[in-house]
Structure 1
Protein backbone atom coordinates (compact mmCIF):
# COMPACT_ATOMS: atom_id res chain seq x y z
CA UNK A 1 0.00 0.00 0.00
CA UNK A 2 2.91 2.37 0.72
CA UNK A 3 4.08 2.02 -2.88
CA UNK A 4 0.60 2.85 -4.20
CA UNK A 5 0.35 5.91 -1.94
CA UNK A 6 3.73 7.15 -3.17
CA UNK A 7 2.55 6.66 -6.75
CA UNK A 8 -0.35 9.00 -5.97
CA UNK A 9 1.20 11.69 -3.84
CA UNK A 10 4.60 12.04 -5.54
CA UNK A 11 3.08 13.34 -8.81
CA UNK A 12 0.64 15.49 -6.82
CA UNK A 13 3.34 17.20 -4.77
CA UNK A 14 5.60 17.46 -7.82
CA UNK A 15 2.89 19.54 -9.45
CA UNK A 16 2.53 21.63 -6.28
CA UNK A 17 6.26 22.36 -6.16
CA UNK A 18 6.39 23.18 -9.86
CA UNK A 19 3.49 25.60 -9.48
CA UNK A 20 5.03 27.22 -6.40
CA UNK A 21 8.41 27.91 -8.03
CA UNK A 22 7.38 28.45 -11.66
CA UNK A 23 4.16 30.38 -10.90
CA UNK A 24 2.29 29.53 -14.13
CA UNK A 25 -0.18 32.02 -15.56
CA UNK A 26 -3.91 31.32 -15.48
CA UNK A 27 -4.06 30.59 -19.22
CA UNK A 28 -1.13 28.15 -18.94
CA UNK A 29 -2.83 26.24 -16.12
CA UNK A 30 -6.07 26.17 -18.11
CA UNK A 31 -4.32 24.83 -21.23
CA UNK A 32 -2.60 22.08 -19.24
CA UNK A 33 -5.95 21.10 -17.70
CA UNK A 34 -7.57 20.81 -21.15
CA UNK A 35 -4.71 18.68 -22.47
CA UNK A 36 -5.05 16.29 -19.52
CA UNK A 37 -8.84 16.09 -19.90
CA UNK A 38 -9.05 15.62 -23.66
CA UNK A 39 -5.79 13.84 -24.55
CA UNK A 40 -5.25 11.53 -21.56
CA UNK A 41 -8.32 11.07 -19.32
CA UNK A 42 -10.86 10.60 -22.13
CA UNK A 43 -8.99 7.62 -23.69
CA UNK A 44 -8.46 6.13 -20.21
CA UNK A 45 -12.17 6.21 -19.35
CA UNK A 46 -13.16 4.85 -22.75
CA UNK A 47 -10.78 1.87 -22.79
CA UNK A 48 -11.38 0.96 -19.13
CA UNK A 49 -15.18 1.08 -19.40
CA UNK A 50 -15.12 -0.83 -22.68
CA UNK A 51 -12.80 -3.53 -21.27
CA UNK A 52 -14.92 -4.02 -18.16
CA UNK A 53 -18.30 -4.19 -19.91
CA UNK A 54 -17.27 -6.12 -23.04
CA UNK A 55 -16.19 -9.10 -20.96
CA UNK A 56 -19.45 -9.42 -19.01
CA UNK A 57 -22.50 -7.21 -18.86
CA UNK A 58 -22.31 -6.35 -15.16
CA UNK A 59 -24.71 -3.43 -14.79
CA UNK A 60 -24.29 -3.23 -11.00
CA UNK A 61 -21.56 -0.64 -11.64
CA UNK A 62 -24.37 1.79 -12.55
CA UNK A 63 -25.19 1.91 -8.82
CA UNK A 64 -22.02 3.99 -8.39
CA UNK A 65 -23.57 6.65 -10.64
CA UNK A 66 -26.71 6.53 -8.52
CA UNK A 67 -24.69 6.81 -5.31
CA UNK A 68 -22.66 9.82 -6.45
CA UNK A 69 -25.75 11.54 -7.81
CA UNK A 70 -27.58 11.14 -4.48
CA UNK A 71 -24.54 12.51 -2.61
CA UNK A 72 -24.55 15.65 -4.77
CA UNK A 73 -28.27 16.17 -4.19
CA UNK A 74 -28.08 15.69 -0.41
CA UNK A 75 -24.98 17.86 0.13
CA UNK A 76 -26.49 20.53 -2.12
CA UNK A 77 -29.73 20.57 -0.09
CA UNK A 78 -27.92 20.71 3.27
CA UNK A 79 -25.37 23.23 1.98
CA UNK A 80 -28.11 25.64 0.93
CA UNK A 81 -29.47 25.54 4.49
CA UNK A 82 -26.10 25.91 6.23
CA UNK A 83 -24.13 28.30 4.01
CA UNK A 84 -24.97 31.78 2.79
CA UNK A 85 -22.13 31.98 0.28
CA UNK A 86 -22.62 30.07 -2.95
CA UNK A 87 -18.93 29.22 -3.19
CA UNK A 88 -19.27 27.03 -0.09
CA UNK A 89 -22.33 25.27 -1.49
CA UNK A 90 -20.58 24.56 -4.79
CA UNK A 91 -17.43 23.13 -3.21
CA UNK A 92 -19.32 21.00 -0.69
CA UNK A 93 -21.40 19.25 -3.35
CA UNK A 94 -18.95 18.97 -6.27
CA UNK A 95 -16.27 16.47 -5.25
CA UNK A 96 -13.01 15.49 -6.89
CA UNK A 97 -14.43 12.25 -8.24
CA UNK A 98 -11.75 11.83 -10.89
CA UNK A 99 -8.10 12.75 -10.60
CA UNK A 100 -7.03 11.25 -7.27
CA UNK A 101 -9.41 8.23 -7.33
CA UNK A 102 -8.35 7.40 -10.91
CA UNK A 103 -4.72 7.23 -9.85
CA UNK A 104 -5.51 4.98 -6.90
CA UNK A 105 -7.86 2.72 -8.87
CA UNK A 106 -5.48 2.31 -11.79
CA UNK A 107 -2.61 1.35 -9.48
CA UNK A 108 -4.64 -1.10 -7.39
CA UNK A 109 -7.24 -2.64 -9.72
CA UNK A 110 -6.39 -1.71 -13.29
CA UNK A 111 -9.15 -1.19 -15.85
CA UNK A 112 -11.87 -2.60 -13.59
CA UNK A 113 -11.19 0.01 -10.92
CA UNK A 114 -10.87 2.83 -13.44
CA UNK A 115 -14.24 1.90 -14.95
CA UNK A 116 -15.80 2.03 -11.47
CA UNK A 117 -14.41 5.53 -10.99
CA UNK A 118 -15.78 6.47 -14.41
CA UNK A 119 -19.34 5.57 -13.46
CA UNK A 120 -18.95 7.46 -10.18
CA UNK A 121 -17.78 10.50 -12.16
CA UNK A 122 -20.81 10.16 -14.43
CA UNK A 123 -23.36 10.58 -11.63
CA UNK A 124 -21.33 13.23 -9.80
CA UNK A 125 -20.75 15.45 -12.81
CA UNK A 126 -24.13 15.19 -14.50
CA UNK A 127 -26.00 16.09 -11.30
CA UNK A 128 -23.66 18.89 -10.18
CA UNK A 129 -23.49 20.41 -13.67
CA UNK A 130 -27.29 20.57 -13.80
CA UNK A 131 -27.74 22.05 -10.31
CA UNK A 132 -24.88 24.59 -10.38
CA UNK A 133 -26.03 26.82 -13.27
CA UNK A 134 -29.68 26.72 -12.19
CA UNK A 135 -29.31 27.52 -8.48
CA UNK A 136 -25.84 29.01 -7.93
CA UNK A 137 -25.15 31.26 -10.91
CA UNK A 138 -24.70 35.00 -10.47
CA UNK A 139 -23.77 35.28 -14.13
CA UNK A 140 -24.91 32.26 -16.09
CA UNK A 141 -23.04 31.93 -19.38
CA UNK A 142 -24.18 28.42 -20.25
CA UNK A 143 -27.24 26.24 -19.76
CA UNK A 144 -26.87 22.96 -17.85
CA UNK A 145 -27.20 21.05 -21.12
CA UNK A 146 -24.45 23.11 -22.75
CA UNK A 147 -22.12 22.35 -19.83
CA UNK A 148 -22.80 18.62 -20.06
CA UNK A 149 -22.31 18.55 -23.82
CA UNK A 150 -18.85 20.11 -23.41
CA UNK A 151 -17.64 17.44 -20.97
CA UNK A 152 -15.67 14.78 -22.92
CA UNK A 153 -15.57 12.10 -20.19
CA UNK A 154 -19.35 11.71 -20.45
CA UNK A 155 -18.99 10.88 -24.15
CA UNK A 156 -16.12 8.48 -23.46
CA UNK A 157 -18.11 6.47 -20.91
CA UNK A 158 -21.38 6.43 -22.86
CA UNK A 159 -19.64 5.51 -26.13
CA UNK A 160 -17.85 2.62 -24.40
CA UNK A 161 -21.18 1.43 -22.92
CA UNK A 162 -22.74 1.57 -26.41
CA UNK A 163 -19.90 -0.40 -28.03
CA UNK A 164 -19.95 -3.04 -25.30
CA UNK A 165 -23.75 -3.35 -25.34
CA UNK A 166 -23.78 -3.87 -29.10
CA UNK A 167 -20.83 -6.28 -28.76
CA UNK A 168 -18.81 -4.26 -31.24
CA UNK A 169 -15.22 -5.47 -31.26
CA UNK A 170 -12.62 -2.72 -31.51
CA UNK A 171 -9.56 -3.97 -33.44
CA UNK A 172 -6.46 -4.36 -31.30
CA UNK A 173 -4.52 -2.12 -33.69
CA UNK A 174 -6.90 0.72 -32.74
CA UNK A 175 -7.40 -0.12 -29.07
CA UNK A 176 -3.68 -0.44 -28.28
CA UNK A 177 -2.62 3.17 -29.05
CA UNK A 178 -5.71 4.50 -27.25
CA UNK A 179 -4.74 2.42 -24.21
CA UNK A 180 -1.18 3.76 -24.38
CA UNK A 181 -2.46 7.31 -23.92
CA UNK A 182 -4.75 6.19 -21.12
CA UNK A 183 -2.00 4.33 -19.24
CA UNK A 184 -0.20 7.55 -18.33
CA UNK A 185 -3.39 9.52 -17.69
CA UNK A 186 -3.61 9.17 -13.92
CA UNK A 187 0.00 10.27 -13.31
CA UNK A 188 -0.29 13.28 -15.63
CA UNK A 189 -3.67 14.18 -14.10
CA UNK A 190 -2.21 14.14 -10.59
CA UNK A 191 0.62 16.45 -11.66
CA UNK A 192 -1.98 18.78 -13.20
CA UNK A 193 -4.03 18.69 -9.99
CA UNK A 194 -0.94 19.73 -8.04
CA UNK A 195 -0.23 22.57 -10.47
CA UNK A 196 -3.84 23.79 -10.28
CA UNK A 197 -4.03 23.69 -6.48
CA UNK A 198 -0.55 25.18 -6.08
CA UNK A 199 -1.43 28.17 -8.22
CA UNK A 200 -4.20 29.23 -5.79
CA UNK A 201 -2.74 29.26 -2.28
CA UNK A 202 -4.78 32.16 -0.85
CA UNK A 203 -7.26 30.40 1.44
CA UNK A 204 -9.58 30.44 4.46
CA UNK A 205 -8.95 27.42 6.68
CA UNK A 206 -12.43 27.61 8.24
CA UNK A 207 -14.26 27.63 4.89
CA UNK A 208 -12.29 24.60 3.72
CA UNK A 209 -12.98 22.68 6.92
CA UNK A 210 -16.72 23.44 6.89
CA UNK A 211 -17.32 22.37 3.31
CA UNK A 212 -15.12 19.28 3.48
CA UNK A 213 -16.63 17.88 6.66
CA UNK A 214 -20.19 18.48 5.47
CA UNK A 215 -19.54 16.31 2.45
CA UNK A 216 -17.49 13.80 4.45
CA UNK A 217 -20.29 13.10 6.93
CA UNK A 218 -22.93 12.80 4.20
CA UNK A 219 -20.74 10.75 1.86
CA UNK A 220 -19.57 8.23 4.44
CA UNK A 221 -23.11 7.71 5.77
CA UNK A 222 -24.73 7.13 2.37
CA UNK A 223 -21.80 5.09 1.04
CA UNK A 224 -21.96 2.64 3.94
CA UNK A 225 -25.74 2.45 3.51
CA UNK A 226 -25.24 1.39 -0.12
CA UNK A 227 -22.61 -1.16 0.92
CA UNK A 228 -24.81 -2.48 3.74
CA UNK A 229 -27.75 -2.91 1.35
CA UNK A 230 -25.55 -4.78 -1.10
CA UNK A 231 -25.97 -2.18 -3.84
CA UNK A 232 -22.20 -1.93 -4.30
CA UNK A 233 -19.67 -4.64 -3.55
CA UNK A 234 -16.19 -5.87 -4.41
CA UNK A 235 -14.00 -3.32 -6.16
CA UNK A 236 -17.00 -1.00 -6.61
CA UNK A 237 -17.40 -0.74 -2.84
CA UNK A 238 -13.70 0.02 -2.37
CA UNK A 239 -13.91 2.76 -5.00
CA UNK A 240 -17.00 4.16 -3.26
CA UNK A 241 -15.13 4.28 0.07
CA UNK A 242 -12.20 6.11 -1.55
CA UNK A 243 -14.58 8.56 -3.22
CA UNK A 244 -16.35 9.28 0.08
CA UNK A 245 -13.28 11.02 1.53
CA UNK A 246 -12.27 12.99 -1.57
CA UNK A 247 -11.89 16.81 -1.47
CA UNK A 248 -13.64 19.47 -3.53
CA UNK A 249 -13.03 19.24 -7.28
CA UNK A 250 -10.40 21.50 -8.84
CA UNK A 251 -12.93 22.13 -11.61
CA UNK A 252 -14.97 24.08 -9.03
CA UNK A 253 -12.59 26.99 -9.69
CA UNK A 254 -13.45 26.98 -13.40
CA UNK A 255 -17.17 26.56 -12.68
CA UNK A 256 -17.11 29.41 -10.14
CA UNK A 257 -15.55 31.72 -12.70
CA UNK A 258 -18.17 30.79 -15.30
CA UNK A 259 -21.06 31.29 -12.86
CA UNK A 260 -19.88 34.71 -11.65
CA UNK A 261 -18.79 33.44 -8.22
CA UNK A 262 -15.48 34.28 -6.50
CA UNK A 263 -12.77 31.97 -7.93
CA UNK A 264 -10.25 32.99 -5.24
CA UNK A 265 -12.56 31.87 -2.41
CA UNK A 266 -13.35 28.69 -4.32
CA UNK A 267 -9.71 27.82 -5.01
CA UNK A 268 -8.84 28.35 -1.34
CA UNK A 269 -11.52 25.88 -0.29
CA UNK A 270 -10.26 23.36 -2.85
CA UNK A 271 -6.71 23.70 -1.51
CA UNK A 272 -7.70 23.25 2.16
CA UNK A 273 -10.02 20.31 1.45
CA UNK A 274 -7.31 18.62 -0.64
CA UNK A 275 -4.86 19.02 2.22
CA UNK A 276 -7.28 17.67 4.86
CA UNK A 277 -8.42 14.77 2.70
CA UNK A 278 -4.81 13.58 2.42
CA UNK A 279 -4.71 12.91 6.17
CA UNK A 280 -8.23 11.45 6.23
CA UNK A 281 -7.53 9.16 3.29
CA UNK A 282 -4.42 7.47 4.72
CA UNK A 283 -6.12 5.59 7.61
CA UNK A 284 -9.16 4.84 5.43
CA UNK A 285 -6.90 3.31 2.77
CA UNK A 286 -5.00 1.19 5.28
CA UNK A 287 -8.19 -0.08 6.95
CA UNK A 288 -10.58 -0.65 4.05
CA UNK A 289 -8.64 -0.63 0.78
Structure 2
Protein backbone atom coordinates (compact mmCIF):
# COMPACT_ATOMS: atom_id res chain seq x y z
CA UNK A 1 0.00 0.00 0.00
CA UNK A 2 3.03 2.28 0.38
CA UNK A 3 3.08 2.75 -3.40
CA UNK A 4 -0.15 4.77 -3.21
CA UNK A 5 1.41 7.23 -0.76
CA UNK A 6 4.51 7.45 -2.97
CA UNK A 7 2.33 8.20 -6.00
CA UNK A 8 0.27 10.79 -4.13
CA UNK A 9 3.47 12.48 -2.95
CA UNK A 10 4.98 12.58 -6.45
CA UNK A 11 1.75 13.88 -8.02
CA UNK A 12 1.55 16.58 -5.35
CA UNK A 13 5.22 17.39 -5.95
CA UNK A 14 4.47 18.00 -9.63
CA UNK A 15 1.49 20.17 -8.73
CA UNK A 16 3.52 22.17 -6.17
CA UNK A 17 6.40 22.68 -8.61
CA UNK A 18 3.92 23.99 -11.18
CA UNK A 19 2.21 26.22 -8.59
CA UNK A 20 5.57 27.70 -7.53
CA UNK A 21 6.56 28.35 -11.13
CA UNK A 22 9.44 25.85 -11.27
CA UNK A 23 7.58 23.78 -13.88
CA UNK A 24 4.98 24.80 -16.45
CA UNK A 25 2.46 23.03 -18.68
CA UNK A 26 5.07 23.05 -21.45
CA UNK A 27 7.55 21.15 -19.28
CA UNK A 28 5.27 18.11 -19.15
CA UNK A 29 6.10 17.53 -22.83
CA UNK A 30 9.79 17.16 -21.97
CA UNK A 31 9.02 14.92 -18.99
CA UNK A 32 6.69 12.74 -21.07
CA UNK A 33 9.22 12.50 -23.89
CA UNK A 34 11.88 11.24 -21.48
CA UNK A 35 9.45 8.59 -20.26
CA UNK A 36 8.14 7.58 -23.69
CA UNK A 37 11.42 7.64 -25.63
CA UNK A 38 13.90 6.52 -22.95
CA UNK A 39 12.51 5.14 -19.70
CA UNK A 40 9.51 3.10 -20.77
CA UNK A 41 11.16 1.29 -23.71
CA UNK A 42 14.02 0.30 -21.38
CA UNK A 43 11.55 -0.86 -18.73
CA UNK A 44 9.41 -2.85 -21.17
CA UNK A 45 12.35 -4.47 -22.98
CA UNK A 46 14.17 -5.43 -19.78
CA UNK A 47 11.07 -6.77 -18.05
CA UNK A 48 9.94 -8.80 -21.05
CA UNK A 49 13.31 -10.47 -21.64
CA UNK A 50 13.84 -11.07 -17.92
CA UNK A 51 10.43 -12.41 -16.93
CA UNK A 52 8.66 -13.80 -20.02
CA UNK A 53 9.24 -17.19 -21.63
CA UNK A 54 7.64 -18.29 -24.88
CA UNK A 55 5.59 -20.82 -22.92
CA UNK A 56 4.04 -17.92 -20.93
CA UNK A 57 2.74 -16.00 -23.92
CA UNK A 58 -0.59 -17.80 -24.27
CA UNK A 59 -1.58 -17.02 -20.67
CA UNK A 60 -0.28 -13.43 -20.91
CA UNK A 61 -2.25 -12.72 -24.07
CA UNK A 62 -5.40 -13.69 -22.16
CA UNK A 63 -4.79 -10.47 -20.21
CA UNK A 64 -4.78 -8.53 -23.48
CA UNK A 65 -8.09 -10.11 -24.51
CA UNK A 66 -9.59 -9.46 -21.06
CA UNK A 67 -8.81 -5.72 -21.10
CA UNK A 68 -9.93 -5.50 -24.72
CA UNK A 69 -13.36 -6.91 -23.78
CA UNK A 70 -13.69 -4.64 -20.72
CA UNK A 71 -12.76 -1.59 -22.81
CA UNK A 72 -15.30 -2.42 -25.51
CA UNK A 73 -18.00 -3.02 -22.89
CA UNK A 74 -17.18 0.37 -21.35
CA UNK A 75 -17.43 1.96 -24.80
CA UNK A 76 -20.88 0.41 -25.26
CA UNK A 77 -22.09 1.49 -21.79
CA UNK A 78 -20.73 5.01 -22.31
CA UNK A 79 -22.49 5.28 -25.67
CA UNK A 80 -25.82 4.42 -24.04
CA UNK A 81 -25.24 6.76 -21.09
CA UNK A 82 -23.93 9.62 -23.20
CA UNK A 83 -26.60 9.42 -25.89
CA UNK A 84 -29.70 8.36 -23.96
CA UNK A 85 -29.16 9.86 -20.49
CA UNK A 86 -26.75 12.80 -20.86
CA UNK A 87 -27.91 13.56 -24.43
CA UNK A 88 -24.46 14.78 -25.45
CA UNK A 89 -23.74 16.44 -28.77
CA UNK A 90 -21.71 14.33 -31.27
CA UNK A 91 -18.26 15.78 -30.46
CA UNK A 92 -18.91 15.56 -26.72
CA UNK A 93 -20.31 12.04 -27.09
CA UNK A 94 -17.21 10.94 -29.00
CA UNK A 95 -15.00 12.37 -26.25
CA UNK A 96 -17.13 10.68 -23.57
CA UNK A 97 -16.92 7.27 -25.26
CA UNK A 98 -13.18 7.53 -25.89
CA UNK A 99 -12.28 8.60 -22.36
CA UNK A 100 -14.53 5.91 -20.82
CA UNK A 101 -13.08 3.11 -22.93
CA UNK A 102 -9.37 3.82 -22.43
CA UNK A 103 -8.02 3.23 -18.94
CA UNK A 104 -4.63 4.51 -17.88
CA UNK A 105 -3.12 1.02 -17.90
CA UNK A 106 0.38 2.40 -18.54
CA UNK A 107 1.10 5.75 -16.88
CA UNK A 108 -0.98 4.89 -13.78
CA UNK A 109 -1.15 1.13 -14.14
CA UNK A 110 2.55 0.36 -14.52
CA UNK A 111 3.82 2.05 -11.34
CA UNK A 112 0.84 0.91 -9.25
CA UNK A 113 1.02 -2.71 -10.40
CA UNK A 114 4.81 -2.71 -9.95
CA UNK A 115 4.40 -1.31 -6.44
CA UNK A 116 1.87 -3.97 -5.49
CA UNK A 117 3.25 -7.01 -7.32
CA UNK A 118 6.81 -6.23 -8.42
CA UNK A 119 8.32 -6.99 -11.81
CA UNK A 120 6.16 -10.09 -12.31
CA UNK A 121 3.07 -7.94 -11.98
CA UNK A 122 4.53 -5.26 -14.24
CA UNK A 123 5.22 -7.79 -16.99
CA UNK A 124 1.56 -8.77 -16.96
CA UNK A 125 0.54 -5.10 -16.98
CA UNK A 126 2.45 -4.64 -20.25
CA UNK A 127 0.12 -7.13 -21.95
CA UNK A 128 -2.89 -5.31 -20.50
CA UNK A 129 -1.67 -2.07 -22.03
CA UNK A 130 -1.43 -3.64 -25.48
CA UNK A 131 -5.24 -3.89 -25.40
CA UNK A 132 -5.60 -0.24 -24.38
CA UNK A 133 -3.39 0.79 -27.29
CA UNK A 134 -5.55 -1.20 -29.72
CA UNK A 135 -8.75 0.31 -28.33
CA UNK A 136 -7.60 3.93 -28.29
CA UNK A 137 -6.31 3.70 -31.86
CA UNK A 138 -9.35 1.86 -33.19
CA UNK A 139 -11.93 4.01 -31.40
CA UNK A 140 -10.18 7.30 -32.14
CA UNK A 141 -9.96 6.43 -35.84
CA UNK A 142 -13.59 5.29 -36.01
CA UNK A 143 -15.06 8.18 -34.01
CA UNK A 144 -12.87 10.72 -35.78
CA UNK A 145 -14.03 9.57 -39.21
CA UNK A 146 -17.66 9.41 -38.08
CA UNK A 147 -17.87 12.70 -36.17
CA UNK A 148 -15.41 15.03 -37.89
CA UNK A 149 -14.86 13.29 -41.21
CA UNK A 150 -11.09 13.37 -40.67
CA UNK A 151 -9.00 10.35 -41.54
CA UNK A 152 -5.67 10.42 -39.74
CA UNK A 153 -3.42 7.38 -39.97
CA UNK A 154 -3.14 6.85 -36.24
CA UNK A 155 -1.91 3.28 -36.74
CA UNK A 156 1.26 4.64 -38.35
CA UNK A 157 1.85 6.77 -35.26
CA UNK A 158 1.43 3.74 -32.99
CA UNK A 159 4.02 1.83 -34.99
CA UNK A 160 6.43 4.67 -34.15
CA UNK A 161 5.55 4.54 -30.43
CA UNK A 162 8.84 3.52 -28.71
CA UNK A 163 7.32 1.29 -25.97
CA UNK A 164 5.40 -0.58 -28.70
CA UNK A 165 8.61 -1.05 -30.67
CA UNK A 166 10.43 -2.28 -27.55
CA UNK A 167 7.58 -4.71 -26.81
CA UNK A 168 7.53 -6.06 -30.38
CA UNK A 169 11.32 -6.54 -30.52
CA UNK A 170 11.30 -8.25 -27.12
CA UNK A 171 8.44 -10.51 -28.25
CA UNK A 172 10.37 -11.62 -31.34
CA UNK A 173 13.50 -12.31 -29.25
CA UNK A 174 11.46 -14.33 -26.75
CA UNK A 175 10.01 -16.44 -29.57
CA UNK A 176 13.60 -17.02 -30.76
CA UNK A 177 14.52 -18.26 -27.27
CA UNK A 178 16.63 -15.23 -26.35
CA UNK A 179 16.54 -13.80 -22.82
CA UNK A 180 18.35 -11.12 -20.85
CA UNK A 181 20.89 -13.59 -19.43
CA UNK A 182 22.40 -13.90 -22.91
CA UNK A 183 23.30 -10.20 -23.04
CA UNK A 184 26.50 -8.68 -21.57
CA UNK A 185 26.00 -7.84 -17.88
CA UNK A 186 26.19 -4.08 -18.46
CA UNK A 187 23.04 -4.17 -20.66
CA UNK A 188 20.51 -4.98 -17.89
CA UNK A 189 22.36 -2.56 -15.60
CA UNK A 190 21.96 0.29 -18.09
CA UNK A 191 18.33 -0.65 -18.74
CA UNK A 192 17.59 -0.70 -15.00
CA UNK A 193 19.08 2.78 -14.58
CA UNK A 194 17.07 4.16 -17.50
CA UNK A 195 13.90 2.43 -16.31
CA UNK A 196 14.32 4.08 -12.92
CA UNK A 197 13.18 7.44 -14.29
CA UNK A 198 9.76 6.14 -15.31
CA UNK A 199 7.72 6.25 -12.10
CA UNK A 200 8.90 9.60 -10.69
CA UNK A 201 8.72 11.42 -14.04
CA UNK A 202 5.29 9.97 -14.90
CA UNK A 203 3.82 11.02 -11.57
CA UNK A 204 5.44 14.48 -11.53
CA UNK A 205 4.21 15.02 -15.10
CA UNK A 206 0.73 13.95 -14.03
CA UNK A 207 0.83 16.48 -11.21
CA UNK A 208 1.84 19.19 -13.67
CA UNK A 209 -0.90 18.13 -16.11
CA UNK A 210 -3.84 17.84 -13.72
CA UNK A 211 -6.18 20.79 -13.82
CA UNK A 212 -9.73 21.14 -12.58
CA UNK A 213 -10.43 24.38 -14.43
CA UNK A 214 -13.01 22.74 -16.73
CA UNK A 215 -14.67 20.70 -13.99
CA UNK A 216 -17.48 23.19 -13.41
CA UNK A 217 -18.65 23.18 -17.04
CA UNK A 218 -18.27 19.41 -17.55
CA UNK A 219 -19.00 18.09 -14.06
CA UNK A 220 -21.87 15.73 -14.91
CA UNK A 221 -20.07 13.95 -17.79
CA UNK A 222 -16.91 13.79 -15.64
CA UNK A 223 -18.89 12.10 -12.86
CA UNK A 224 -20.29 9.68 -15.45
CA UNK A 225 -16.79 8.82 -16.65
CA UNK A 226 -15.63 8.31 -13.06
CA UNK A 227 -18.50 5.93 -12.29
CA UNK A 228 -17.99 3.92 -15.48
CA UNK A 229 -14.20 3.69 -15.18
CA UNK A 230 -13.76 3.21 -11.44
CA UNK A 231 -16.92 1.30 -10.47
CA UNK A 232 -18.62 -0.33 -13.45
CA UNK A 233 -15.43 -1.45 -15.25
CA UNK A 234 -13.87 -3.34 -12.31
CA UNK A 235 -17.25 -4.89 -11.45
CA UNK A 236 -17.49 -6.16 -15.04
CA UNK A 237 -13.91 -7.38 -14.69
CA UNK A 238 -14.73 -9.30 -11.52
CA UNK A 239 -17.81 -10.85 -13.15
CA UNK A 240 -16.13 -12.04 -16.35
CA UNK A 241 -12.71 -13.01 -14.91
CA UNK A 242 -13.82 -16.60 -14.09
CA UNK A 243 -14.31 -17.17 -17.84
CA UNK A 244 -10.55 -16.74 -18.36
CA UNK A 245 -9.34 -19.23 -15.72
CA UNK A 246 -6.63 -16.80 -14.66
CA UNK A 247 -3.81 -17.71 -12.31
CA UNK A 248 -4.05 -15.77 -9.03
CA UNK A 249 -1.58 -12.99 -9.94
CA UNK A 250 -2.97 -12.65 -13.47
CA UNK A 251 -6.48 -12.16 -12.08
CA UNK A 252 -5.37 -9.48 -9.61
CA UNK A 253 -3.44 -7.54 -12.26
CA UNK A 254 -6.28 -7.81 -14.79
CA UNK A 255 -8.95 -6.55 -12.39
CA UNK A 256 -6.78 -3.74 -11.02
CA UNK A 257 -5.92 -2.61 -14.54
CA UNK A 258 -9.61 -2.63 -15.45
CA UNK A 259 -10.22 -0.13 -12.62
CA UNK A 260 -7.67 2.48 -13.68
CA UNK A 261 -8.79 6.09 -14.38
CA UNK A 262 -8.83 7.41 -17.97
CA UNK A 263 -5.63 7.53 -19.97
CA UNK A 264 -4.08 10.79 -21.16
CA UNK A 265 -3.98 9.71 -24.83
CA UNK A 266 -7.68 10.48 -25.53
CA UNK A 267 -6.83 14.15 -24.97
CA UNK A 268 -4.25 13.96 -27.77
CA UNK A 269 -6.70 12.39 -30.21
CA UNK A 270 -9.42 14.84 -29.14
CA UNK A 271 -7.17 17.66 -30.35
CA UNK A 272 -6.58 15.86 -33.66
CA UNK A 273 -10.25 15.16 -34.35
CA UNK A 274 -11.87 18.19 -32.73
CA UNK A 275 -13.65 16.33 -29.91
CA UNK A 276 -14.70 18.04 -26.67
CA UNK A 277 -11.31 18.53 -24.98
CA UNK A 278 -12.83 20.26 -21.94
CA UNK A 279 -14.93 17.20 -21.16
CA UNK A 280 -11.87 14.97 -21.42
CA UNK A 281 -9.73 17.27 -19.25
CA UNK A 282 -12.39 17.44 -16.53
CA UNK A 283 -12.94 13.67 -16.65
CA UNK A 284 -9.24 12.84 -16.36
CA UNK A 285 -8.85 15.23 -13.42
CA UNK A 286 -11.83 13.97 -11.41
CA UNK A 287 -11.28 10.27 -12.14
CA UNK A 288 -7.57 10.41 -11.34
CA UNK A 289 -8.18 12.11 -7.99
CA UNK A 290 -10.94 9.65 -7.04
CA UNK A 291 -8.83 6.67 -8.18
CA UNK A 292 -6.26 7.41 -5.48
CA UNK A 293 -8.91 6.10 -3.10
CA UNK A 294 -10.69 3.53 -5.28
CA UNK A 295 -7.56 1.65 -6.40
CA UNK A 296 -6.32 0.89 -2.84
CA UNK A 297 -9.87 -0.23 -1.96
CA UNK A 298 -9.98 -2.55 -4.97
CA UNK A 299 -6.55 -3.89 -4.04
CA UNK A 300 -7.71 -4.62 -0.48
CA UNK A 301 -10.76 -6.48 -1.81
CA UNK A 302 -8.56 -8.60 -4.09
CA UNK A 303 -5.99 -9.36 -1.40
CA UNK A 304 -8.73 -10.30 1.09
CA UNK A 305 -9.99 -12.88 -1.39
CA UNK A 306 -13.48 -11.38 -1.45
CA UNK A 307 -13.75 -11.88 -5.22
After superposition, give the CA deviation of every residue in 1:112-160 in whole Å (9 maximum; x if it has no partner). 1111111100011112211212224526362232232132222222221
Query: What are the residue-to-residue correspondences of 1:196-275 with 2, within 5 Å?
Result: 196-198=209-211, 201-203=213-215, 204-275=218-289
Matched with 1:35 is: 34
Q: Is the contact between residue 102 and residue 263 of structure 2 (CA under 8 Å) also seen in structure 1?
A: yes
Paired with 1:228 and 1:285, the residues of 2 have a C-alpha distance of: 18
Corresponding position of 1:129:
137
Q: Is 1:104 matched with 2:112? A: yes
Paired residue for 2:183? 170
Of stretches 56-65 and 266-275 in structure 1, the one that deviates more from structure 2 is 56-65
CA RMSD of aligned residues (A): 2.2
For normalisation by structure 2, the TM-score amounts to: 0.85
Is residue 142 from structure 1 mapped to residue 141 from structure 2 by the alignment?
no
Which residue is 1:192 aligned to? 205
Normalising by structure 1, report the TM-score.
Answer: 0.90
Q: 1:207, 1:195 → 2: CA distance?
A: 23
TM-superposed deviation, 1:230: 4.4
| Greater gyration radius | 2
Residue 8 of structure 1 deviates from its aligned partner by 2.1
Tell me what 2:195 maps to: 182
1:238 to partner: Cα distance? 1.5
Corresponding residue pairs, total: 287
The residue number in structure 1 matching 2:85 is: none
Moved over 4 A (4+): 23-26
| 1:22 match: secondary structure | coil
Q: Please give the residue correspondences for 1:28-67 in structure 2 after superposition, counting only pairs within 5 Å.
A: 28-54=27-53, 57-67=56-66
Q: Deviations over 1:49-101 (max 9, x none)?
A: 22111486353111111011112222222322321322211111111111222
Partner of 2:99: 91
- Aligned-partner Cα distance in 1 for 2:42–2:213: 31
Instruction: Tell me the distance in 2 between the aligned counterparts of 1:174 and 1:251.
Output: 31
Aligned to 1:117: 125
Distance 1:18 1:128 in 2: 31
SS in 1 for 2:20: helix
* Contact 1:65/1:119, CA 8 A, preserved across alignment: yes
